[in-house]
Amino acid sequence: MSTVETKIRRTNTTSGGNNTGGDNYNRGGGDEGNNSGSNDGSQTEQPKKHKTSPMLFLTFAMIPIAIFFAAIVFVYLAHEMRNGWTPIAMPAAVLASTLVLIISSVTLEMARKALKAKLLEDFKRWVMVSTFLGITFFTTQLIAWKQLMAKGVYIEAINPHATFFYILTAAHGLHLFGGLIGLSYVLFGAMYYRFSADRRNAVDVTTTYWHFMDGLWIFLFLLLFVWK
């Protein structure tokens, strides 16, 4: 009898140990399930940040420039209609600078098209030409000023047309100088191949701004020397 009882006790002890292991296994499995569930809940998708387009910044920059020149033109027209004046003769350098600026817009657009077509050498070449033409425009504008000053035409109250010519050309040149800085940056990037068909924001912004200043100058040219 004692032998039978001893076997029964060993059997119960063994089965109890197995149950305990099973309980521990089940509990561990439940904890893992809870942990995995909590991890899934915490891994939520972060909202994507939308980058503001550089062209949008350029648009907001061009609006006050347009308003600034519109105000000067309004005063110009009001003064001319009220008092009238004798317009100054157009310096020869002004016509030359106008042609140079128009050509620079064409060459800069050719540069942008070359970059889109992944023709990096052509892109670099056209940017160099455009930068040279931009510097030439400033040079011819200074020559035009010297031509007027050589004739004794200065900023003075007795000749409002000359005064507005100096004011408008100086204001335009100052704003175009910002475009020349951007063009120099594009030239630097083109020399070291920092732009590509997929990385051309600076090129697009500079080209658009340059076209804007080109169109503005054509308007001023017509206003000063064609429409009288």
Q: What is the pLDDT of residues 93-132, one digit of tens each?
A: 999 999 999 999 999 999 999 999 989 999 999 999 999 9
Kindly give, in sequence order, each residue whose CB lies less than 8 Å from that of residue 1, ignoring residues fewer than 6 positions away: none
Full set of structural domains in the chain with CATH = 54-78+91-225 (1.20.120.80)
Mean pLDDT of 201-226: 94
| 168 vs 192: which has the higher pLDDT | 168
Mean pLDDT of 166-181: 95
Mean pLDDT of 32-52: 48
**Cβ-contact 217, 94 below 8 angstroms:** no
> What integer pLDDT is reported at residue 19 of this predicted model?
44
Residues of the chain above pLDDT 70, percent: 76
> What integer pLDDT is reported at residue 164 of this predicted model?
93
Residue 223 has pLDDT above 90, yes or no: yes
Paired tokens of 51 = 């980058």
d(CA 128, CA 112): 12
> What integer pLDDT is reported at residue 29 of this predicted model?
43
> What integer pLDDT is reported at residue 33 of this predicted model?
43
HEC letters along the chain: CHHHHHHHHHHHHHHHHHHHHHHHHHHHHHHHHHHHHHHHHHCCCCCCCCCCCHHHHHHHHHHHHHHHHHHHHHHHHHHHHHHCCCCCCCCHHHHHHHHHHHHHHHHHHHHHHHHHCCCHHHHHHHHHHHHHHHHHHHHHHHHHHHHHHHCCCCCCCCCHHHHHHHHHHHHHHHHHHHHHHHHHHHHHHHHCCCCCCCCCHHHHHHHHHHHHHHHHHHHHHHHHHCCC
Paired tokens of 61 = 């920059």
Nearest to 95 by CA among 209, 218, 223: 218
> What integer pLDDT is reported at residue 46 of this predicted model?
52
